[in-house]
Chain A
Amino acid sequence: MKLTELFLGILTAVGGFVDVSELVFMSQAGSRFGYALIWVVVLSTVGIMVFGEMSGRVAAIAKQPVFNLMRNRLGLRLGLITLIASFVSNLITCAAEIGGVALVLQLLTGAPMRLMAVAATAAFIATVWFLPFKWIERTYGLLGLFMLVFGAALVAIHPPWGQIAGGMVPQVPRGLSTRDMIAFAYFAVALLSAVMFPYETYFYSSGGIEDEWGPKDLGINKLTTIVGFSLGSLLAIALLASAAQLFGPAGISPEMVGTVALQAGVPFGKIGILLALLGMLFAIGGAAIETCLANAYSLGQFFGWRWGRHRPPREAPRFTLSWMAIFVVALVIVLTGVEPVELAEYAVVASILVLPLTYLPLLLLAGDRAYMRVHANGLLSKTLGWGFYVLIVVAALAALPLFLLTSGGQL
């Protein structure tokens, strides 16, 4: 195992952890409920570690990506329903990310948002066409580390560390009205969904196959998912905690992507805002590419096409046409004028509905000794896997009613 590879892998996971939905929901949750939802972020991070590690292990040992598995284990009917649902959820997420990037570019340049959305999409298409897979992942992941300014900003505003630590203990704040209680439950489900977005698993396992992982890479897989996702999660917690400290007492609800950047502006002034916007640009940009490729991977794997960015674009033509078309359709959604934050809200609800169907075949195959041999799920993976599976099923059942009852958290 090369140390540099491991280091870069972990940094990439950190830089790529946060996307537009997390930015928005972490800040809104912090502003509205203080530190009381930090435990949901911690719990969801353990969940994405468990399923991320599992999907990487299945890619390395059984050499099967998620949608191959899904087709094989769920069959055509249920597999097709999952494909369509996850395609729609990823497409909305991709549009939200493109819209988020366009808003950040608008703040940086002053140019119209729609023009920036077109420019960003053209840049993403060029990136995916010309750059090898590893460099796509690393460029956006590493430049996304500008987001660390949010961590530094939290330290600089001297938050109540005791209360932040207290937020890691599962709790429901006392004295909430019924209305606030429903909103609290909605934010809990939304944060779970934003951290455990299904595209992350599709992209991660497909990446493992692109990089030709084998048994020797299981260590990198474990460390990347545990260390990388933990550090990424700390960044997300920093966003939530500084929103709790700065926005909550002032009664500000960060409805705009740009408002989030102010969290770094308070302690560090203009340079803080600039670093925050650059970090957001690359973190959200990376997520736009990941969601788009995750959709193209899903199609390629479900229908058995040649797929992957390790091949030149013309050697996987249906896959290449797919990701190009997905970018264009996502751009069209943004150009209709729907707010990126609104899209992010739809995306988290759509995603949580897909999660149970995504993770079931993964759990089944990762535990199958015929395929995974000695690398099949052990007692810990099995217990955590099924425990989180029950949790996401409950969250999926609650998501839509909560979304409707709270009008997307506006209640």
Chain B
Amino acid sequence: MKASGSLKLVAGVRDLQIVDCEECNCGIVDDIELKGKPGGPLKVAALVVGPGGYSARLPGWAMWIVDRVAGRSAVKVPWDKVENVTSVVHLNVTAKEAGLARAEARARRLLPGRG
């Protein structure tokens, strides 16, 4: 499936692994942001990555727990940063450029050693 082609099944993209242009895992598609007007065509605007993307998909009580454990942060990756969709979503940029490298960087600071 090409990123420029028609995306018939939003459900097919949700919950797929995201891989950046350096072949590094950088998240899962937690939700999809759509854009469009009543009567007009509906288009995919962005991939939503992070626990904030769960809010439309989990019941309120579960979201309350997620909120306390992981917060509600979410990164939106514009659809034009998607190279193609196979069994994973390939980006045409690095995780850092897509804003998907922050959590790994924070965790790295907690580990012993340098770099």
Contact = CB atoms under 8 A, between A and B. Distances in A.
B25 A307 contact: yes
Given A76-B54, A77-B58, A321 B28 contact: no
Interface in B68-115: 87, 103-105, 107-108, 110-111, 113, 115
Contacts of A300: 25
Given A64-B87, A314-B113, A317-B111, A304 B28 contact: yes
A7 interface: no
Given A72-B16, A77-B58, A317 B107 contact: yes
Nearest to B105: A317
B110 A71 contact: no
The 6 closest A-B pairs by CB, nearest first: A304-B28, A317-B107, A317-B108, A304-B27, A318-B107, A71-B15
Given A303-B27, A314-B113, 14 more contacts: A62-B87, A71-B15, A72-B15, A76-B30, A76-B58, A80-B62, A300-B25, A304-B49, A305-B104, A314-B108, A314-B115, A317-B105, A321-B110, A371-B87
Interface string A61-82: 0111000100110011101100
B21 interface: no
A314 B111 contact: yes
Contacts of B110: 317, 321
Interface string A313-347: 11001101100000000000000000000000000
Interface residues of A, number: 25
A242 B58 CA distance: 51
Contacts of A76: 15, 30, 54, 57-58
Size class of the B contact interface (CB-based, 8 Å): 20 to 34
A212 to B, nearest CB: 12
B46 interface: no
Contacts of A317: 104-105, 107-108, 110-111
Given A63-B87, A314-B108, A318-B104, A75 B15 contact: yes
Nearest to A76: B57
B15 A77 contact: no
A373 B87 CA distance: 13
Given A62-B87, A317-B110, A320-B111, A77 B57 contact: yes
Nearest to B70: A303
A318 B25 CA distance: 12
Interface string B8-31: 000000111110000011111010
A369 interface: no
Given A76-B58, A314-B113, A318-B103, A304 B108 contact: no
Nearest to A322: B107
A270 interface: no
A62 B16 CA distance: 13
Nearest to A72: B15
B28 A303 contact: yes
A321 B112 CA distance: 10
Nearest to B30: A76
Contacts of A71: 15, 28
A267 B57 CA distance: 61
A135 B36 CA distance: 54
Contacts of A305: 25, 27, 104
17 contacts: A64-B87, A71-B28, A75-B15, A75-B57, A76-B57, A76-B58, A77-B58, A80-B58, A80-B62, A303-B28, A304-B18, A304-B28, A305-B27, A313-B111, A314-B108, A314-B113, A317-B110
